[in-house]
Amino acid sequence: MHLQNWLRAALSADWQNGGFGIYVHWPFCQAKCPYCDFNSHVSREIDERRWLNAYLAELDRAAAELPGRVVNAVFFGGGTPSLMHPDTVAAIIERIRKHWPMPNDPEITLEANPGSVEAGRFRGYADGGVTRISMGVQALNDRDLKRLGRIHTVDEAKKAFEIAHSTFERVSFDLIYARQDQTLEDWKKELNEALCLAIDHLSLYQLTIEKGTAFSDRYEKGGLTGLPVEDLAADMYDVTNELCERAGLFGYEVSNYAKVGAESRHNLIYWRYGDYLGIGPGAHGRLTIDGVKYATEHFKMPNAWLENAERGRGEKIRDALSGTDQANEYLIMGLRITEGIDTTRLENLAGAKIDTTALTHLTDLGLIEQSGSHLRTTPQGRLLLNSVIGELIY
Amino acid sequence: MRRQSFAKTMGKARRIRHLDQGVKPTHIQLMTELNKIRNFSIVAHIDHGKSTLADRLIQETGTVKDRDMQEQMLDSMDIERERGITIKANTVRIDYKADDGENYVLNLIDTPGHVDFAYEVSRSMRAVEGSLLVVDSSQGVEAQTLANVYHAMDADHEIVSILNKIDLPASDCDRVAEQIEDVIGLDATDAIQVSAKTGQGIHETLEAIVKKLPAPKGERNAPLKAMLVDSWYDAYLGVIVLVRIIDGVLKKGERIKMLSNGSVHHVDRIGVFKPQREEIDELGPGEIGFLTASIKQVRDTRVGDTITHEKKGTEDALPGFKPAQPVVFCGLFPVDSAEFEDLRDAIDKLALNDASFSFEMETSAALGFGFRCGFLGLLHLEVIRDRIEREYDIELITTAPSVIYHIHMKDGTMQELHNPADMPDLTFVDHMQEPRIKATILVPDEYLGDVLKLCQDRRGIQEDLTYAGTRAMVVYDLPLNEVVFDFYDRLKSVTKGYASFDYQMMGYRQDFLVKMSILVNDEPVDALSTMVHRDRAEMRGRAMVEKLKDLIPRHMFKIPIQAAIGGKVIARETLSAMRKDVTAKCYGGDATRKKKLLEKQKAGKKKMRQFGKVDIPQEAFISALKMDG
């Protein structure tokens, strides 16, 4: 029976269009980082059993309307999901497996803080089914870690990473660069060090001042000086691509680098504009049901979500997406990845041809490449992605 | 209570016209003996107390009760009030029982004070026999005072000097009286010392009006001859025409004729302003009042025209009549192109009440549909533009003001050029002429050097430089095209606001003028072309391309910005390409947020003008032309 479902799913539209994944949001952190605009909260008392039951109830409800899918990947994000008890994670994975088939080598990622406490739980996560760890290292010097409001040190991070490496086959870590007072040379040195540590995947983000964060308040008030100007930030990006490639990690998305085959399958579902179920406070989803693609959003505040999930529904918003909406989302997501998009799929979604004048213009500028119905951004195009998308958006 | 000014009083009077609909007008016989009439205007610089003095005269004579005076504050156009300027002429009739025991009728005409309305001023001056020259005794004579006092002298006025604001600690009557004698050449020995604020000297002023100013002359039995002093539109009565009767008698119900175009109208109402409108049956020689005759458009009533009876009228037109001639042109375009029809409506409505404002439709490759408009001067331009933006709520892009050039063609014909975009092919052009002005600037001597440099930089030729105390008076012959843009702003800035400036048109002179085009990404942007003197083209071109480089946002590609004369590039800058514009993180939850952001970005682009592949922000069209030196 499992085989039959798997086959059907393999041939169905969502597989072709990016696959199906599940995102589980754990909203709690030990401390809030000043640059972070994710839905994270600091709370002293968490009744983890209650939370587990809420997640399970959400999974049961989703399973009823999403039968016959294959789950390609699961992602525990946050917040800090490495604050969850391994048993909670294991129970969620078990429930997912109960409802949907998974491939033989499923990708089940958990985001982890690189602290000593978390490292002690890694064995438990692995036993519960987690196959991949994504670690928020962020910087490889203590001064900058402090500036970024991180509560761990470089030594702790390296030790945690060792443990993760000995426990999981796949471990990735994040760094934030284009930081205050960082020179191009500083970053080259730090990145080379990171590439020596790295196994097969790195996420390298340029620091962005997001609205509503502590950094943004400081920036508005004239604080947070020494951030790189546009030209330096662009040079840093170019150097990043170059050094990663030399180390065999290819930039497969704007900020993600991996050895061939080691790309994050879960994140690729977003960028290939597949279907994903998002559960937990503030989680977003994209679900195709009876031929209609919906954008879903769960209650944002932890307690509001918990109570609603217990009462019967953590989902707050469910909007049907028009063809144009879907086309624009596909553009926004698909042009981020090196493999690019299929213009036939794009035009079918939009019900209209792509703007060929804009295509010619962007091609002439060396920002995109096209062959047949296959369209992708060049590295320069990815660095100017917002403007490129601005030209092509429906 | 400076705001409680005469201009406002008159504005109120205009408003009252419809408030008192249905109230039976008081029909009183007002025809007055010529020797009991005195007609006068007040000449003063802004802020020297003209309006307050007028208010005091009205109050002192009991023309308006003290109690009502408090209510005369609001009204008149916001722009007149805010800028402290008078745009339309106003009159008030004051009944005064003099010390000699006789009852006099004093007619005051309040004239626009600004050079843009020089023609209107000169007509108002011709309608009266004398002037009060009001000078702030703490400030002294200003350039604008001079220009207007010359209008008064041209009209052969008797002039009574008033030294105002003597209550101020800085008041120095001796110095200012001396200045009046030195600079203007008027005998100031009998100057009256006044404080319009405290009322001191007001009675003496009224007596001087009666004793020193001449009575009007006129022939009651001659054919009707009246001067059209000003006119404005009233929603209830149609056009209200301000007239001065020279000869003959004008009665209600008569048919009158405008000599300039022969149009005939039936007079519905005749009256005077006290300052509220009061209807009377007739106006005789020497009198000033108003008439209405169901005239629909202000355009049909030309300032300076002669009004007579349809039958047995005079055929002698009053001298000096000329139709309004715009001297400054610019394009007005709606920021939102969807508002073009609203702009058309607004312009049509404004034109109803302003005969001196001309317009025609214009299309610009950069700015779309708009209007090319002609104005009497820069103030006039600003007033109209402000009114469109404020009263009609339409955001405008104003293109660089241009003067009228005379293009003399090789075939001997002459074309007027109002818009650099219409410049004919140079191979057919023999030579070009540009309008010149005579500029008079009064400035404290510590700023003189900066003022001379400014005038010199603007191709000025010094004609005169004299001193009156610590103030210098410089007279320059300047090309109008160097003045229309930001000369006044620059003058104010280099003199910290202490200079006063006035000018008069001096006719046309040949010079080496060229059309300078601006090319953005190799395409000419018509709305940015200007006429410049050849010798200044490089400097202007350089300044403009540098400005534009800062004003245009970076694009995905590098953008050359060039200034060119014909095919020859004289200045060039390159706006380098944008290098980074990407969101670092974008996962499942970000698609929605990102999409909204991009859609907003797309809407924002509509606020820019797309030119070729380049988006040029609106402010660039005006800011690029401002010169810093």
Domain membership flag for residue B227: yes
Residues B180-218: pLDDT tens digits? Answer: 998 888 899 899 999 988 989 999 999 999 999 999 999
| SS3 assignment, position A386 | helix
Residue A30: what pLDDT?
86
Q: Is residue B629 part of a domain?
A: no
Mean pLDDT of A375-392: 94
Q: Write down the pLDDT at residue B496.
A: 79
| pLDDT score for A59 | 97
| Mean pLDDT confidence for B547-568 | 93
Does the residue A349 lie in any domain?
no
Percent of chain A at pLDDT above 90? 79
DSSP E strands in A195-266: the ranges are 201-206, 250-253, 256-258
The reply to whether residue B582 touches residue A390, judged by beta carbons under 8 angstroms, is no
Instruction: Return the pLDDT at B5.
Output: 39
pLDDT attached to residue B448: 94
CATH code for the domain in which residue B341 is found: 3.30.70.870
pLDDT value of position B79: 52
Residue closest to B129 by CA, chosen among B34, B225, B51? B34
Label residue B10 by pLDDT band (50, 70, 90): very low
Per the domain annotation, does A372 fall within a domain? no
Q: Which residues contact B280 (CB under 8 A, 6 or more apart)?
A: B27, B28, B29, B30, B270, B271, B272, B289
Residue A174 in any domain: the answer is yes
Which pLDDT does position B135 carry in this prediction?
93
Q: Which domain holds residue A72?
A: 13-270
In chain B, which residues have their Cβ closer than 8 Å to the Cβ of A329? 591-592, 595
What is the extent of the structural domain holding B285?
1-21+218-323
Query: Is residue A81 domain-resident?
Result: yes
The reply to whether residue B579 touches residue A230, judged by beta carbons under 8 angstroms, is yes
Would you say residue B269 lies in a domain?
A: yes
Strand (E) or helix (H) holding B159: strand B158-164
Q: State the first-to-last Cα distance of chain B, in angstroms, to the nearest integer.
A: 39
Into how many domains does chain B fold? 5
Arithmetic mean of pLDDT, B249-255: 95
pLDDT at A3: 44
Residue B1 confidence class, pLDDT cut points 50, 70, 90: very low
Judge whether B478 and B436 are in contact, CB under 8 Å: yes
- Please tell me whether residues B230 and B296 are part of one structural domain: yes
> What integer pLDDT is reported at residue A247 of this predicted model?
96
In three-state secondary structure terms, B626 is coil
Of A295, A333, A386, the CB nearest to B581: A386
**pLDDT in the model for residue B82:** 54
For residues B7 and B67, state if they share a domain.
Answer: no
pLDDT of residue B554 exceeding 50? yes
User: A165-203, pLDDT tens digit by residue?
Assistant: 999 999 999 999 999 999 999 999 999 999 999 999 999
Tell me the mean pLDDT in the region B360-370.
85
CA A158 – CA B479 distance, rounded (Å) = 76
Angle at B484 between CA B479 and CA B486, to 5 degrees: 115
Q: How many residues does chain A have?
A: 394
* Residue B89 located in a structural domain: yes
The CATH number covering residue B121 comes to 3.40.50.300
**Rounded mean pLDDT, A235-253:** 97
Among the listed ranges A367-381, B11-25, B149-163, B557-571, which one has the minimum average pLDDT value?
A: B11-25
Evaluate whether residue A93 is within a structural domain.
yes
Q: Is residue A359 part of a domain?
A: no
Calculate the CA B16 to chain-centre distance. 25
Q: Distance (Å) from the C-alpha of residue B549 to the closest C-alpha of chain A?
A: 17
| Contacts A278 to B, Cβ<8 Å | 588-589
Kindly state whether residues B595 and B470 are assigned to the same domain: no
Residues B96 and B109 in one domain: yes
What CATH number is attached to the domain comprising B531? 3.30.70.2570
d(CA B80, CA B5): 11
Rounded to a whole number of angstroms, the distance from the CA of A385 to the nearest CA of chain B is 5
- Assess contact for B464 and B475: CB atoms under 8 A: yes
Beta carbons of B592 and A284 less than 8 Å apart: yes
CATH number at residue A219: 3.20.20.70
Q: How confident is the model at residue B252 (pLDDT cuts 50, 70, 90)?
A: very high
Higher pLDDT, A33 or B247: B247
Same domain, yes or no: B63 and B174:
yes
Q: Tokens for B41, please give them.
A: 């205007």
- Please name which of A265, A234, A259, A233 lies closest in space to residue A245, comparing C-alpha atoms: A259
Exposed / middle / buried, residue A223 (Cβ in 10 Å: 0-12, 13-18, 19+)? exposed
Question: Best mutation site among B554, B587, B597 for testing chain A: the one with the most A CBs within 10 Å?
Answer: B587
Domain identity same for B48 and B159? yes
Q: Is residue B125 part of a domain?
A: yes
Mean pLDDT in residue range A198-226 = 91
- Output the pLDDT for position B20: 38
Residues A49/B614, Cβ–Cβ less than 8 Å:
no
ipTM of the complex: 0.89
Average pLDDT on A251-279 reads 96
Average pLDDT, chain B: 84
How does strand A374-377 pair with strand A368-371? antiparallel
- Of A316, A349, A314, nearest in space to A334 by CA: A349
CB contact under 8 A, B599 and A278: no
B65 and B38 in a common domain: yes
User: What average pLDDT does this structure show over B330-349?
Assistant: 90
Chosen for mutation from B554, B556, B576, B606 (greatest number of chain A CBs closer than 10 Å) is B556
Mean pLDDT in residue range B352-370: 83
Summarize pLDDT for B429-487 with one digit per residue, the tens.
999 999 999 998 888 888 999 999 999 999 999 999 998 777 888 999 999 988 887 78
**Inter-chain touch A255–B581, beta carbons under 8 Å:** no
Highest mean predicted confidence (pLDDT) among A104-113, B29-38, B274-283: A104-113
Which chain B residues are within 8 Å of A382, Cβ to Cβ?
582
Q: Are residues B532 and B502 in the same domain?
A: no
In the predicted structure, residue B2 carries a pLDDT above the cut 50: no
Quote the number of domains for chain A.
1
- pLDDT for res B513: 93
Asked if residue B523 has pLDDT above 60, the reply is yes
Closest C-alpha to B597, from A210, A189, A312, A357? A210
Q: Are residues B183 and B274 in the same domain?
A: no
Binding residues of B for GTP: 47-52, 164-167
Confirm whether A79 is domain-assigned: yes
* B38 pLDDT more than 60: yes
Residue A157 lies in a domain: yes
Domain co-membership, B157 together with B250: no
How many other CB atoms are there within 10 angstroms of residue B81's CB atom?
A: 17
Q: Residue B216: what pLDDT?
A: 95
Q: How far is A243 from chain B (nearest CA, A)?
A: 18
Q: Is residue B26 assigned to a domain?
A: no
Check if A276 contacts B (Cβ < 8 Å). Answer: yes
- Determine contact, residues A256/A203, Cβ cutoff 8 Å: yes
Verify that B227 and B111 share a domain, yes or no: no
Tell me how far apart the terminal alpha carbons of chain A are, to the nearest angstrom.
42
Residues 286-325 of A with CB under 8 A from B: 286, 295, 297, 325
Percent residues over pLDDT 70 in chain B = 87
Q: Across the interface, do B598 and A333 touch by the CB < 8 Å criterion?
A: no
Rounded to whole angstroms, the Cα distance separating B415 from B404 reads: 10
Asked whether residue B628 is domain-assigned, the answer is: no
Clarify whether residues B137 and B169 are in a common domain.
Answer: yes
